[in-house]
Structure 1
């Protein structure tokens, strides 16, 4: 059991290493979190040093597992020499050891090279956007999407915070293109693929070329190689499922369409609400299992509502705020 230490090292580098170890320890307390946030905000150098360690930690995910495990087995005396002033990391268990190894990973992959470009993009409710990156790769963003693009000497990294995007990647075997969506990572050199990140799942669909999908922590990662017309879905518990699918249907949003194939009305309405300016609400739980099929324009709320009334026993009730209630026809 962890006994809370109320003393933080005076040296900024040592303090950053100490806090990094505690954050990733698995038993970080509420009181510690308050002290940690206070320490980070007390001095810009604190934040800078902590972020540097976090970048090293992220780099460990790029090392092959066998290399990472071999590095973790270095005798303690050698590890201490390697760490130097970051001795706090050695004494904090395997999590901290991984961060130490990250220092080797950073050197090996050239991650310490200055970032040449950092770009941020976002779309709002109902907004779609297409951007061309410095290497001529193209990102087509769906609604409610946030992502950050970072270019390094040895890799191109996109952090997908939320939403959905299709990536048309210009091939460069010396500079792989990586999309990070939480614990799920997609690695390619040149291809066209779609990534959708929701709070409880991440879905990757390949239109052409191939991608490598990995998920989970570095010590227990699942991975799958996808080619055209293959989809991988990662659930909240990090379970990885792969199947063949019609990627054109999944990415119909790029043509302003959404396709439903005999799906529950609950799912249909939830999907349409991603695009509609005014949301649709189901007022009766008996509506949820009703089935719906069709191809709809994502901007045509009226056409969609008309189709619902034509094919299902529902009544559309317009509300003063513009939203719509669906009730069961009696």
Structure 2
């Protein structure tokens, strides 16, 4: 299964589904409305998927029902006012409020967890790493800000890397190939150890041991990697990368971050993958300056200071402990 980034159409369908959920819980849901909802859900698979997400959002709000909301108490002048009888207008209002709450929750969740991550079985936050033992004996180590979805059955072991980077140590099973996919590109192995990093427009692979077969997103090119090799998979191409040293592959698993002639702009982006907050490079004239170094992931402020040592004209301004500006 491949994950697609949220589109305007998907967001519109989720809004419509939230509207239907609100109407259903408004206390006035006529039989003809039920038929209209059934027809809406049956339009295609995307409509039903949006409906299931809206239901899940609504159910997630159950724990809030009945709780006191600060500021919701009536004013003194309102407390003795006789409540008005509920009419059709009030029913509609309740439906709109329910739909609005559902949609607001959807927006809030999307801000912290993009829709493509809702299907994740395992994920990590920024600066977090996690090691997972799978049912078949394989192991997956997730890097900072990463997510995977598992699809194991009797014939295949498939993992979708939804975001970020992961290191795979694959248990041998000749009857069930082990496949890692990243929205098109695929890495197929039987018993091996390799690193996969999903980036915008490409997937980088480093093979520590064993053999893997790569396939591009268009399914037009295949390539076998041998231990110690690295490659980059694009939409319609696979490129072998300069062979890295075996001891330098996936150093993040050892809590280390290495720059080997990396442009300053790319180095700052790497630091931002792990460090809480944000480092902003304002001086773009220095962005292509090459730097090298080995740093601990739990001491990245020292890495930022080392950037100034490597590029003396660089100035570091601390706005807050979480916001550093390089100029």
In the superposition, the TM-score normalised over structure 2's length comes to: 0.63
**Over residues 137-178 of structure 1, what are the superposed CA-to-partner deviations in whole Å (9 max), with x where a residue is unaligned?**
000000111111121110111011111000000000001111
Q: 2 CA distance for matches of 1:211 and 1:43?
A: 46
Deviation at 1:48, TM superposition (A): 12
RMSD across aligned positions (CA):
3.2
Q: Is the partner of 2:302 in helix, strand or coil? A: helix
Q: 1 CA distance for matches of 2:245 and 2:10?
A: 48
Partner residue in 2 for 1:134: 135
Q: 2 CA distance for matches of 1:281 and 1:250?
A: 27
Q: 1 CA distance for matches of 2:128 and 2:287?
A: 27
Deviation at 1:261, TM superposition (A): 1.0
Distance 1:38 1:323, change over 3 A: closer
Deviation at 1:47, TM superposition (A): 7.5
Partner residue in 1 for 2:152: 151
Partner residue in 2 for 1:240: 238
Partner residue in 1 for 2:315: 315
Aligned length: 231
- Larger Rg, first or second structure (1 or 2): 2
In the superposition, the TM-score normalised over structure 1's length comes to: 0.63
**Over residues 168-217 of structure 1, what are the superposed CA-to-partner deviations in whole Å (9 max), with x where a residue is unaligned?**
00000001111111110111111001110012210111000000110133
Q: Is the partner of 1:299 in helix, strand or coil? A: helix
Partner residue in 2 for 1:274: 273
Partner residue in 1 for 2:97: none
Ranked by relative contact order (alpha carbons within 8 Å, sequence separation 6 or more), the top structure is 2
Is the contact between residue 163 and residue 198 of structure 2 (CA under 8 Å) also seen in structure 1?
Answer: yes
Q: Is the partner of 1:310 in helix, strand or coil? A: helix
- Any unmatched runs of 5+ in structure 1? 1-29, 52-117
Q: How does 1:48-59 map to 2 (within 5 A)?
A: 50=45
Distance 1:132 1:285, change over 3 A: same
Is the contact between residue 166 and residue 193 of structure 1 (CA under 8 Å) also seen in structure 2?
Answer: yes
Q: 2 CA distance for matches of 1:222 and 1:168?
A: 25
Is the contact between residue 147 and residue 162 of structure 2 (CA under 8 Å) also seen in structure 1?
Answer: yes
Q: Is the partner of 2:293 in helix, strand or coil? A: strand
Partner residue in 1 for 2:257: 258
Deviation at 1:319, TM superposition (A): 0.6
Is the contact between residue 208 and residue 249 of structure 2 (CA under 8 Å) also seen in structure 1?
Answer: no
Deviation at 1:302, TM superposition (A): 2.4
Distance 1:46 1:266, change over 3 A: same
Q: 2 CA distance for matches of 1:131 and 1:31?
A: 35
Deviation at 1:325, TM superposition (A): 0.6
Distance 1:226 1:31, change over 3 A: closer
**Over residues 89-129 of structure 1, what are the superposed CA-to-partner deviations in whole Å (9 max), with x where a residue is unaligned?**
xxxxxxxxxxxxxxxxxxxxxxxxxxxxx980000111110
**Does 2:124 match 1:120?**
no
